[in-house]
Structure 1
Amino acid sequence: MPRHPRLAAVAAATAALAAVAAGPAPTGEPTVSDPRVVAHFDSAAGQTPENIALEPDGSADLTFSYARQVARVTKAGAKTVLATLPDVTDPQTPNLGAAVVTGIARAHDGTLYVNYATGTDETGVWRIRPGGAPEQIAQLPADSLPNGLALDEECGTLYAADSARGAVWSVPLDGGEPAVWAEGPALEPTAALPFGANGLKIHDDAVWVSNSAHSTLLRIPFTEDRTAGPVETRATGLTGIDDFTFTGHGDTALAALILDSRLELVRADGTHRTVLTGADGLANPTSVAVRAKTLYVPSAAYYATVNPDPNLLLARISRNKL
């Protein structure tokens, strides 16, 4: 969820929630420990990490939203800019105004796909082959705000959450015409918070979507012909939810709560508890990734007014069986 002036008041109103105690984990539940910030970024240069994909060696590919860049960060913190999306004259991105790079997904051959929101014809999904320049493979409407992105490589389809229109797009990998795959009230933004469908993952034969405006985590099952089934609300009360990921323990998820700088463990029954806060180094976390016993959390520090610290935090996550 890139920065928006209207959200500053919301962030201030919810900041007190960061003090919520995590408490002990129930027996068998995944645990998070040893949080440490491994890389700091330059907020003034637009290096605000919005989304994450992981490389086989454990390096993190991050989208720097306002710098319009994709960068690779090793687990030791070394940084390399892989690509910069083209500059756009007079961007008119809904809710934001500026051109921003948002969601990212990685194919097995190393090709990266990113969402680019500009309010112009450049809005859509872009492909970055290893060592290559970014190229647009799908154009989305100028009034859309593509955000979370996931790849179903077996079916040759990308799915993108649209925060402005409150929808999920399906985008063929071969560059065919995008189509609205799912829409409806559960995915829409509100007048108070103009970011609806935000994070997106494919899991458990379904597309899962977070809705920032409604503080919800949703599941949209695939039907037999891969169309969208009825939207299911799987968790509520996730104030300021941005992106999320699954821990590998069934439907247990980890959700980045951007407004009050928390990481929440969300159980399959929809209950949830705090596992990381600003005291651990989070500063408006935007997304989450898990690889084996390592947890990755990028923070964009969008709303920090004193010593903003966009960063990448790593922690240890247990692999206990539920």
Structure 2
Amino acid sequence: MFSTFSTLSTSAVSAAVLVATLTGTLAGTTPASASAPRPAPAASASAGPVTVTGARIAVHFDLAGGQTPENVALAPDGSSYVTFAKARRIAKLSPDGTSRILATLPAPADGGVHTPAMGFPLTTGIVRASDGTLYFLYATGTADLTGVWRLRPGGQPRRIAALPADGLPNGLALDSRGRTLYAADSVLGTVWSVPTAGGTPTAWSTAPELAAAGFLGANGLKFHDGSVWTTNTDRGTVLRIPVRRDGSAGPVRTEATGLPGIDDIAFTGCGDQLLAAIDATSEVALVRSDGSHTTVLTPADGLQNPTAIALRGSTVHVMSAAWLTAEDPNLVVARLNR
């Protein structure tokens, strides 16, 4: 999640003011330094042996219908599970591009006007367990609805853990072996941990590197190689937080800098190398294990404020919400050549 308001919002804030606000926020930030981050290397002209080719728009979503895709979870059968943020919906996207609504979340009594940073309720991060159970986040600015929700196959959505109403739960990751969900709060600068069975959340990490610097802090979230990886949108960083043997959070390590407006990430299968969706500039960057990065997809490939990225084999899936362009929320697919 990146934008404060879209053209679908009831806010009277104009797009021009929004863009100016976001640009000022990003330009006025500096990378976190508490964890001795690696310096941001200059982007090289080539991605080396790894390239992304053959990008095309596979699906166009309905902007007027609130189909602003926020996050995606891929299934082994070729389908995808998508959160439509503004519509408060969870949808299943078939391989042929057709979608089916699985659930619509209840609207808060006040319409969600107190949702931090946004002013409207929205569904955000989503993950899928091996048994088909979906876990996802819902932010409403109200205590009765904000939190971690679960949707079992054929069932109804149910909240399994409450999160603070004054926060914005955004990215979600699953450690299936540890039966733990991790949720990044972009406003409170916190990574929460919640058992997959549900229950009381734990403020797993409140490290200063997670904090916002004017708008959104910790955002995209993935569990990879025994660590929780998250992005910081304002600071343009990729962060690694090791999971200690007792389950507690280790010290934060800044793995990459110089990526303002970063949202979601996906690992390529080559060590710690990853792809990053840059919402602000409608780009995807290849971030190498040494922290250097190169742009591999741009608006010319169809990207419009990408909010989610995932890999199925060598196929890259990039969801764009068009929060700022207000033109064409879509799914772009491309080939990752390792």
Question: Is the structural similarity TM-score above 0.5?
Answer: yes
1:7 offset after TM fit, Å? 4.7
Partner of 1:18: none
Q: 1:2, 1:50 within 8 Å by CA — same for their partners in 2?
A: no
1:25 offset after TM fit, Å? 2.8
Which of 236, 260, 278 is matched with 2:281 structurally? 260
1:246 offset after TM fit, Å? 0.3
1:167 aligned to 2:178?
A: no
Q: Can you list the C-alpha shifts for 1:247-277, whole angstroms capped at 9, x where unaligned?
A: 0000001000001100000000000000000
Partner of 1:312: 331
Write the distance in 2 (CA, Å) between the matches of 1:7 and 1:93.
Answer: 17
Write the distance in 1 (CA, Å) between the matches of 2:89 and 2:206.
Answer: 29
In the superposition, relative to structure 1, how do residues 7 and 169 fare at CA in structure 2: closer, same or farther (>3 Å)?
Answer: farther
Q: 1:2, 1:96 within 8 Å by CA — same for their partners in 2?
A: no
Q: TM-score, structure 1 length as denominator?
A: 0.92
1:287 offset after TM fit, Å? 1.1
Write the distance in 1 (CA, Å) between the matches of 2:183 and 2:173.
Answer: 7
1:227 aligned to 2:248?
A: yes
In the superposition, relative to structure 1, how do residues 10 and 215 fare at CA in structure 2: closer, same or farther (>3 Å)?
Answer: farther
1:3 offset after TM fit, Å? 2.5
Q: 1:11, 1:260 within 8 Å by CA — same for their partners in 2?
A: no
1:147 aligned to 2:170?
A: yes
Partner of 1:274: 295
Q: Can you list the C-alpha shifts for 1:137-184, whole angstroms capped at 9, x where unaligned?
A: 000011011000011122111000000100100011111210100012
Partner of 2:3: 3
Q: 1:11, 1:303 within 8 Å by CA — same for their partners in 2?
A: no
Write the distance in 2 (CA, Å) between the matches of 1:69 and 1:262.
Answer: 25
Q: 2:68, 2:320 within 8 Å by CA — same for their partners in 1?
A: yes
1:242 aligned to 2:263?
A: yes
Q: TM-score, structure 2 length as denominator?
A: 0.88
Aligned residues: 308
Write the distance in 2 (CA, Å) between the matches of 1:250 and 1:146.
Answer: 28
Report 1 or 2 for greater relative contact order, CA contacts < 8 Å, sequence distance ≥ 6.
2
Q: Can you list the C-alpha shifts for 1:231-253, whole angstroms capped at 9, x where unaligned?
A: 00000000100011100000001
Which of 213, 233, 241 is matched with 1:212 structurally? 233
Q: Secondary structure at the match of 2:174?
A: strand
Identity %: 54
Q: Secondary structure at the match of 2:20?
A: helix
Q: 1:10, 1:259 within 8 Å by CA — same for their partners in 2?
A: no
1:83 offset after TM fit, Å? 1.2
Write the distance in 2 (CA, Å) between the matches of 1:314 and 1:9.
Answer: 30
1:76 aligned to 2:99?
A: no
Q: Secondary structure at the match of 2:328?
A: coil
In the superposition, relative to structure 1, how do residues 182 and 87 fare at CA in structure 2: closer, same or farther (>3 Å)?
Answer: same
Which of 171, 178, 195 is matched with 2:201 structurally? 178
What amino acid maps onto 1:280 in structure 2? Answer: D
Write the distance in 2 (CA, Å) between the matches of 1:230 and 1:74.
Answer: 40
Partner of 2:308: 287
1:51 aligned to 2:71?
A: yes
1:126 offset after TM fit, Å? 0.4
What amino acid maps onto 1:316 in structure 2? Answer: R
Which of 37, 61, 64 is matched with 1:41 structurally? 61
Q: 2:2, 2:279 within 8 Å by CA — same for their partners in 1?
A: no
Which of 118, 123, 126 is matched with 1:101 structurally? 123
Q: Secondary structure at the match of 1:67?
A: coil
Q: 2:133, 2:152 within 8 Å by CA — same for their partners in 1?
A: yes
Q: 1:198, 1:242 within 8 Å by CA — same for their partners in 2?
A: yes
The residue correspondences of 1:293-308 to structure 2 (distance < 5 A) are 293-305=314-326, 308=327
Which of 137, 150, 157 is matched with 1:115 structurally? 137
Write the distance in 1 (CA, Å) between the matches of 2:188 and 2:106.
Answer: 24
